[in-house]
Amino acid sequence: MSESADRDPRFPAALRISLALFVVVWIFGPRELRAAVPVWVAFAIALGLELHFFAGALRDAPSPRRDRRPQDVDRERFGYDDDTDDLLLVRDGDEDLWIPYSGESDEEVEELIAAARDQVEEDVGTTAPPDWERERGRVWPPVRGLLTGLLVIAALALVIRFVDSRTGWGSVAGDKRAAAVERFSEEASRIAGKPVTIRCDESRDYVGLVQHADGVAAVGGDNAYLTPERCFDLYRLAFEGETTSSQTARAIAVLAHEAWHLRGVDDEGTTECYALQTGVDLGQRLGLSEGTARQMMRQQLVENALRGGASAEYRVPAECRDGGRLDLDRSDTRFP
């Protein structure tokens, strides 16, 4: 970030407006955006920038410098006006006394000093603010800006939570969610070859927040966790007969993928290959036609070849093909 942008007071406001616009697009935009870009990423970036702005403003805030010239309170206290030409600065202990001088004798100057000293003692409450007050005046503007940014982030987070509770997995009634989870567990058990349990990680303690995966399972274990988004995609297919193409296909592949982990397969590429093959039958059992289910899994296979970066380990190996070593049904030439 450039130094000019960092110090521009309009930049934090532009950041907050941009965050608000992103949240609006994320809520009302295509579901593909919500699936591809976790909203917490935007909030994390915004929070980091707010802290950066705060640190920069705190660092650059000028410390108030004491003006050694007579102040208004000095002029009022010591009884001289603005057009006084000659002033004497007398250091009296810890006090600076400004004495108007117009040729007075030494004795008269001493009398003026004594009078000024008495005036200071009477006006202790009217002296300049202490250092801690000046420091508070320097620090408060950056703190106020940080608090404003945090309030904006918190308000938008509450909006996201409210909308999600009424549009996604959270909007599904409790009894229907329980029935859906039971159905997902039954389908996963058929693939795993043993009784297993599928859970929708509504608190995001396991998936979706701290890692990119849509599901997680201990190899050979009995429990797997899916993100609420994937659970909602599966619910819409199995209970409402609704599909959203790539999102429905991905949800089927994720459920099958975690079921193969529960069966004992640990390599991610091999697991994904098996998942896309069994995803055809799984999709049919959840309500798709054979042609649609097969088309979806083939599309997932195509998209798998494009994976890179952190998702590269999920790329299927070369033997994931018709007649290859990972082909689960070599008698069937259709793959997957």
Q: Provide the residue ranges of all domains of the chain, joining segments of one domain with +.
A: 3-64+131-167, 72-126, 173-314
Instruction: Select the more confidently predicted residue: 137 or 18.
Output: 18
Q: How many residues does the chain have?
A: 336
The predicted pLDDT at position 210 comes to 46
Can you tell me the distance from the alpha carbon of 37 to that of 222, in angstroms, rounded to the nearest whole number?
30
The predicted pLDDT at position 131 comes to 59
The predicted pLDDT at position 28 comes to 74
Say if residue 336 is preceded by a cis peptide, omega within 30 of 0: yes
Model pLDDT for residues 25-40, shown as the tens digit of each residue: 877 777 667 666 667 7
Looking at the DSSP bridge assignments, the partners of residue 99 are 88
Determine the average pLDDT of the residues in 197-211: 79
Can you tell me the distance from the alpha carbon of 230 to that of 138, in angstroms, rounded to the nearest whole number?
50
CB of 97 closer than 8 Å to CB of 90: yes
CB of 254 closer than 8 Å to CB of 239: no
Residue 115: pLDDT band by 50, 70, 90 thresholds? confident
Can you tell me the distance from the alpha carbon of 156 to that of 26, in angstroms, rounded to the nearest whole number?
12
Place of tokens 């993928």: 257
pLDDT at 205 over 50: yes
Mean pLDDT over the full length of the chain: 81
Model pLDDT for residues 120-168, shown as the tens digit of each residue: 666 555 555 555 566 666 677 888 888 888 888 888 888 877 776 677 8
CB of 270 closer than 8 Å to CB of 257: no
Cβ contacts of 207 within 8 Å, gap of 6 or more = 201, 213, 214, 215, 216, 225, 226, 227
Can you tell me the distance from the alpha carbon of 183 to that of 189, in angstroms, rounded to the nearest whole number?
10
What is the CB neighbour count within 10 angstroms for residue 119?
A: 16
pLDDT at 102 over 90: no
Determine the average pLDDT of the residues in 12-20: 81
Place of tokens 């592949």: 253
* Poorest-pLDDT segment among 14-18, 236-240, 306-310: 306-310
Cβ contacts of 63 within 8 Å, gap of 6 or more = 134, 135, 138
Instruction: Select the more confidently predicted residue: 209 or 174.
Output: 174
The tokens of 248 are what? 């429905």
Q: Which of 108, 106, 109, 89 has its CA nearest to residue 98?
A: 89
* Poorest-pLDDT segment among 39-43, 46-50, 191-195, 203-207: 39-43
Model pLDDT for residues 214-241, shown as the tens digit of each residue: 899 999 999 999 999 899 999 999 999 9
pTM attached to this predicted model: 0.61
Residue 212: pLDDT band by 50, 70, 90 thresholds? low
The predicted pLDDT at position 180 comes to 97
Model pLDDT for residues 249-286, shown as the tens digit of each residue: 999 999 999 999 999 999 999 999 999 999 999 999 99
Residue 69: pLDDT band by 50, 70, 90 thresholds? low
Q: 223-226 and 215-217 as β-strands: parallel, antiparallel, unpaired?
A: antiparallel
Can you tell me the distance from the alpha carbon of 103 to that of 252, in angstroms, rounded to the nearest whole number?
99
Can you tell me the distance from the alpha carbon of 317 to that of 312, in angstroms, rounded to the nearest whole number?
11
Can you tell me the distance from the alpha carbon of 318 to that of 261, in angstroms, rounded to the nearest whole number?
20
CB of 37 closer than 8 Å to CB of 44: no
* Poorest-pLDDT segment among 166-175, 191-200, 320-329: 166-175
The sign of the dihedral angle between the CA atoms of 206, 208, 212, 216 is positive
Most confident of 77-91, 205-219, 269-283: 269-283
Place of tokens 């001493």: 110
pLDDT at 18 over 80: yes
Can you tell me the distance from the alpha carbon of 198 to that of 183, in angstroms, rounded to the nearest whole number?
9
Determine the average pLDDT of the residues in 88-117: 72
CB of 214 closer than 8 Å to CB of 228: no
pLDDT at 189 over 80: yes
**Percent of the chain at pLDDT above 90?**
40
- Termini Cα distance of the chain: 48
The predicted pLDDT at position 90 comes to 72
Please report which helix (H) or strand (E) contains residue 315, including its range.
Answer: none
